[in-house]
Amino acid sequence: MGHLAALRFESPMGPVHGDAHAGNLMVDQRGRVHLIDLENFCVDHAEWDLVVAAHEFDRLGWAVEEQYTAFSGAYGRDLREWPGFRTLCAIQEFRMTTWLMQNVGEGPEVAEEVMKRIASLRDDDAPRHWRPY
């Protein structure tokens, strides 16, 4: 059985954004926050959304500890303590890389980033010095 098939999710099924990060929030003129980019919205386990913030902090260094501590404290759970965290991180990294691949025609910087990501995916323990896109 594969790693994903062996996961035991701890959260119940419910709404999942599918790409939950701060870049997918917009604030209107009244100060209301709106969630955008809903093409991956589905019903699944919350771990799929929680892994985005945990991964950005733990593997990519795109968030500072205070931000992630506040996030996990507000949610009441630090996904990094869940046995399935590494599996979902690997899937998240694959998704991030394949998404960026479709944009290689935008310039040599994007193509170089894609090659860097593919190389790091070959070594699960390699540091991820990825640039955000």
Distance CA(65)–CA(62), nearest Å, equals: 10
Strands 13-16 and 42-45: antiparallel
Q: pLDDT per position in the chain (133 positions), as tens?
A: 689 999 999 999 999 998 888 889 999 999 999 999 999 999 999 999 999 999 999 999 999 999 999 999 998 999 999 999 999 999 999 999 999 999 999 999 999 999 999 999 998 888 899 999 8
Tell me 12's DSSP state: P
How far from chain centre, in Å, is Cα 29? 28
Distance CA(108)–CA(17), nearest Å, equals: 31
Q: Can you give the pLDDT at residue 66?
A: 95
How far from chain centre, in Å, is Cα 124? 16
**How far are the Cα atoms of 21, 31, 47, 78, 106 from residue 81, in angstroms, in the given order?**
20, 34, 12, 6, 38
Half-sphere exposure of 7 (CA within 13 A, CB side): 18
The residues near 67 (Cβ < 8 Å, ≥ 6 apart) are: 57
